[in-house]
Amino acid sequence: MFVKSASLFLVLLLAHIMMIEGRHVPLSIWTPIAFAWQDVAVALAFGMLDLIFTSIRRPRLGWVLYALLVGYAAINVPIARILSSPMTWTMMRAARGPLRDSITHYFTVPYFGAIALILTAGILLPVVLGRLKFQHAKIAGVAALAVVAIGPYAVTQVDSAGMHRNAFGVLWPTHLGRTTSGDAGGWRISPFESAPATDLSRFRGSAAGRNVILILLESTAARYLKPYGAAEDPMPNLTRLASQSIVFDRAYAVYPESIRELFATLCSQYPQFGTSPETYAAGPAQSVTGLLHDAGYRTALFHSGRFMYLGMESVIQNHGFDTLEDAGAIGGNVNSSFGVDEPAAVERMLSWIDALPSGQRFFVTYLPVAGHHPYATPERGTFPDDSDENRYRNALEYGDQSLGALVAGLRKRKLDEKTLFVIFGDHGEAFGRHDGNFGHSLFIYDENIRVPYIVAAPGLIQDTVRSRSTASVIDTAPTILDMLGMQAPSGFQGISLLDASPRMALFFTDYSLGLLGLYDSCWKYILETDSGRAKLFNVCQDPDELHDLSGEQVERERAYRSKVQGWIAAQKGN
């Protein structure tokens, strides 16, 4: 029993070292315990099970379990090196058919080499350790129990960015700790004095009678776009549209994943922490789609991806759409595991509009997939194909061409000046500006959740109107209704962006680590739910979020902690 347990511990320790190799690891007296205690815990738990198998004369079951644990640890080494986390339950849900192209993108020699090394260690260690004599096994067992007992506290003393967890520790549910529900009306009210928001009340009801096109740009972060200060311009058509739009300088996603973001957009409700999208099917009956449908609009959603992805069907069903079409219905000239080409989706949308009776108002939601990893495009882009970041810019450029085609198609039909456009990124995209932060779903730094957000009404808004008010995707539905001169229902949790009252933006992720956050007039706050560790940044002075001020701004940190904990507890209770 001891040989197998010791072998498993050494295998897990080797796997853990390979996961964190090359990353920043804070050094302190607590670091070894923080990073090793889960490996010790798994080895101890295995040892107890192996003892039971031996006592019932089924020793082979111990070897079978050993092989399964070693194999699973091996598979997770390259995954953790790529994604900055071993596979969580949520990530397993994502790793199905629609993400095949993203997954196979990383099937390289180093990927399989890492797996082979762990498997080899798993085979050789029992042979080597079996030839040694252990005289202090009981002392080692007591020491192991002490490490496991101290481990959770050690984690609170080391900023590990979640990399202290092994392939099995990440499967333990993320928890919120002690939270108390606060005043439902005060979640977004800053505990500190705030500058007045930009007054946009003159646009209230100004788009009455217009059609509405809502576009959630896939994986589009504000920092890469010209209207938000980028040197290059991967989306010139969006830039052109922004020149006659309301442009919100500080807009934030609610959650760095498309499906929950779509729920927040349509229903103006925050998703719950630690729940799957399937639970939203029984969520609030009211949505902006349903309200416009009842007001006489024909409603449709066109997605160049696939509704099967991550439970999207539960979000879009029974929310007032007359027409729902994804890649399977649209067809297209270019197919991947994730969807079809954007020109095909735009052509299908325009055909649907052409088939409507003359003068029929419509509400169209368009969900492109251009911008999603692995950033593949059917044609060569403007940017050099030498890095993921430049390939991403080419993917944004490719999607922007179809955005331009959609606007041009409406202009050709003399519908552009009869249409209200609301366009924003569903979340951002990260390329390692923070250690281990790649993609979008695992962290809530600005590169993950700060998004472009523009409201365009050709013929109504002639120049760029820049709003420095804090905006959130949760505010989309009430803003659309406000622009159309319609009343938002009391069940909506968002606030019209035409309202001049200041507000904070709230966001979270539970994809791997549990992280809660807010943005409040230059201040950005992030709380790690498991450890209670917090970070506070002044993003106006420190846009890359490199200098944590939580130790200097103790009163502000405490106030923000209370806000995000009260907010997320209230969502859990809904």
Q: Divide the 574 residues of the chain into consecutive groups of 10 and give the mean pLDDT of each group.
A: 88 93 88 94 93 89 94 90 81 61 63 89 91 75 91 90 90 68 70 86 96 96 95 96 96 93 93 75 77 97 84 80 91 67 93 96 95 84 90 94 96 96 96 85 94 96 92 97 96 93 92 92 94 94 96 96 92 64
Query: Can you give the pLDDT at residue 177?
Result: 60
Locate 441 and state its tokens.
């779903």
Residue with tokens 């010209």: 226
Are the C-beta atoms of 223 and 446 separated by less than 8 Å? yes
46 in Cβ contact with 108 (< 8 Å) = no
The CATH class of the 196-499 domain is: alpha beta
Q: Radius of gyration over alpha carbons of the chain, in Å?
A: 26
Cβ count within 10 A of residue 51: 13
Report the SS3 class of residue 73. helix
pLDDT at 40: 95
Question: So what's the pLDDT on residue 276?
Answer: 72
Whether the CA torsion 251, 258, 323, 416 is positive or negative: it is positive
Domain borders along the chain are 2-171, 175-194+502-574, 196-499
Q: What is the pLDDT of residue 176?
A: 66
pLDDT at 358: 93
User: What does the pLDDT read at residue 103?
Assistant: 58
Give CA–CA dist 360/355, Å, rounded.
10
Q: What would the DSSP string read from start to end of 28-63?
A: STTHHHHHHHHHHHHHHHHHHHHHHHHHTT-HHHHH
CATH class of 175-194+502-574: alpha beta
pTM: 0.89
